[in-house]
Structure 1
Amino acid sequence: MSIFDRSPQARTAALLSPPFLYSLLLLALPLVAIVLISFWTQTGLDFDTTFTLANYRAIFTQPQYILGNAQNWGVIPVSLFVSATVTAITVVLAYPVAYFVSFVVDPSRKSLWLFLITIPFWSSYLIRVFLWKVILGFNGVINTGLQALGVIREPLEFLLYNLASVIITMAHAYAVFAILPIYVALEKIDRSLLEASQDLGESRFSTFLRVTLPLSVPGIVGAVLIVFIPTIGDYVTPQLMLGAGGRLVANTIQTQFFKGNDAPLGAALSIVTMLMVGIISLVFLFLNRRWLRGRS
């Protein structure tokens, strides 16, 4: 009889060891390396490993990172603003879709609707970004259509290469990630609670506000976190939709690591961004918990 047959602990350790080692090698160790590098200094192609806070001092004192100036915000506040706006738009637009599939669509057709919702996301993310460039471009679908209808004479130049185009593209790209958790939360709601509310004299709208919406909050919270966290680090969309010179925090980090030859500063920017996103997420979860506790 082998040790795995005699010991449940040994079987558990054998099952958990591969994912644990995977996480350690590909997640924990790179993160530790980034933290260490952020306290070093770049000297040519080598690192000066003397401990220093100069990189963090530069981030919190130089206007291009956090403080900004009279003309422009810093890249981190702008990135947080873009991510928060994308999250708000995505969740607001995703909720009616999830509600429709959960409450209106016949149960036998829900799988088909979920299948149809995910079809646009079978294509590459990069292809979808380029398609939005075609739609919003100087000679794109919108400008061409408006000119054909006689609404405008000259193509509109403000549709592309600005933050609005980045927000539109990201909101479309992450829509499915907001629809699915909200749909799951709505599916878990006991329909008898809605019937009881209406039997007690509540209208369908007040039932939605007082029963459906509060019970779907866990799905909304999940959608917010799923969208907010990755959008802050999106590199491809700002690179393509902002044009030359347009940068958010992910692009700035990439520039420091490669073109700027200043990996320690790029590492420090990564750490500061992760900390800010983590703090915002924890505050959001704390407020949500207090809200749920107050309702209970």
Structure 2
Amino acid sequence: MSALRRHLPAVLVLGIPLAWIVLFMLVPYGILATYSFWLKKYPTFVPAFQFGNYLTLFTDPQYVLVLLRTIKISLLVCLASLLLAYPFAWFLVYRCRSAQIRTWLYMAVIAPLWISYLLRAYIWKTILGTEGVLNSFLIWAGIIETPSSIFLYNQFSMVVTLTYIFIPFMVMPIYTALEKIPANLNEASADLGLGPWRSFWRVTVPLSMPGVAAGFTLTFCLSFGDFVAPFLVGGPDGNLIANVITTQFGSALNWPLGSALSVVMLVVVLGVVSLGERVERRSAAGGF
């Protein structure tokens, strides 16, 4: 009894989170994995153990195309976010001398997270639309004579929208990684004869790789699982894997195939997370 009383606080502290994880994560994942082996028989589905759903995903060109499109869009979003976030974070850490201005600029990136996700996605639908800000500006500047629809309902609009939505998740870890780099390392590289550009590539970039890896992982996973932005700005050729899963569980009523798609999606995300964690460990150990 005394031993139980002694370990009761630890059991309560660890037991409640573990119970939450088991009940709301592991159990749903187990149910999802079980459904992925079932068979669809109109109008419902029946228990079975077969790999037909997975075989369909990797042999049917439409599902392969959706998966490859989702990976491509997610990688483009990561690349665009990185190209925008890294210079911004570097400027905040190394060139912005005013702490107040640095705080305001950093908050300007983080503040959109406090706004509804749906509203942020819909804003870009308004900006890129035929009557949006972009078309109005191009007409005012004399570049085009009539509103153009090429900016909306395509993969370009999806990349722009998702980049805007998820770029804070790229800025935050990169800014944190750059801020942790000791200033005397850059000074030492200058004393050893390295110019600013070579010092940036030889010192700053390798030491900031944990932040880049974390930002890439977050941005990829979030954009890979997004289904709202493709629905609003993607158009007929903008379906991503999350949209197909929604359809399978909704109008198609094909839960086994939707579950198989979800499992494949989970495997891809876990693979990216594992790769990002490995890159972070290697860079922290001096592997880059």
**Bin of the TM-score, shorter chain as denominator length:** over 0.9
Counterpart residue identity of residue 124, structure 1 = S
Worse-superposed segment, 145-154 or 281-290 = 281-290
Q: CA deviation at 1:205?
A: 1.4
Query: In the alignment, is residue 226 of structure 1 matched against residue 218 of structure 2?
Result: yes
Distance in 2, Cα, partners of 1:42 & 1:49: 9
Distance in 1, Cα, partners of 2:149 & 2:45: 45
1:22-58 alpha-carbon deviations (Å, 9 max, x no partner) = 1111111111110000000123354310212111111
Name 1:247's counterpart in structure 2: 239
Q: Secondary structure at the match of 1:276?
A: helix
Residue 256 (structure 1) aligned to one of 245, 248, 252:
248
What's the TM-score, normalizing by structure 1?
A: 0.90
Q: Percent identity?
A: 36
Q: 1:130 to 1:253 in 2, by over 3 A?
A: same
> Which structure 1 segments of 5+ residues have no match?
67-73
Worse-superposed segment, 273-282 or 185-194 = 273-282
Name 1:78's counterpart in structure 2: 69
Q: How many residues get paired?
A: 287
Name 2:80's counterpart in structure 1: 89
Counterpart residue identity of residue 133, structure 2 = V
Distance in 2, Cα, partners of 1:103 & 1:246: 39
Q: Secondary structure at the match of 2:143?
A: coil
> Which structure 2 segments of 5+ residues have no match?
none
Q: CA deviation at 1:114?
A: 2.2
Query: In the alignment, is residue 116 of structure 1 matched against residue 111 of structure 2?
Result: no
What's the TM-score, normalizing by structure 2?
A: 0.92
Q: Secondary structure at the match of 2:164?
A: helix
1:226-262 alpha-carbon deviations (Å, 9 max, x no partner) = 1011111101000111235641110001101111010
- The answer to whether the 8 Å contact 2:207/2:284 transfers is no
Give the CA RMSD over aligned residues.
2.2
Counterpart residue identity of residue 41, structure 1 = L
Q: 1:2 to 1:286 in 2, by over 3 A?
A: closer
Distance in 1, Cα, partners of 2:284 & 2:13: 36
Distance in 2, Cα, partners of 1:251 & 1:200: 54
Q: 1:256 to 1:295 in 2, by over 3 A?
A: closer
1:91-140 alpha-carbon deviations (Å, 9 max, x no partner) = 12100111111112236323333222222332111111111011100111
Q: CA deviation at 1:148?
A: 1.5
- The answer to whether the 8 Å contact 2:181/2:207 transfers is yes
Query: In the alignment, is residue 205 of structure 1 matched against residue 203 of structure 2?
Result: no
Counterpart residue identity of residue 58, structure 1 = T
Q: 1:141 to 1:119 in 2, by over 3 A?
A: same
Name 1:71's counterpart in structure 2: none
Name 1:163's counterpart in structure 2: 155
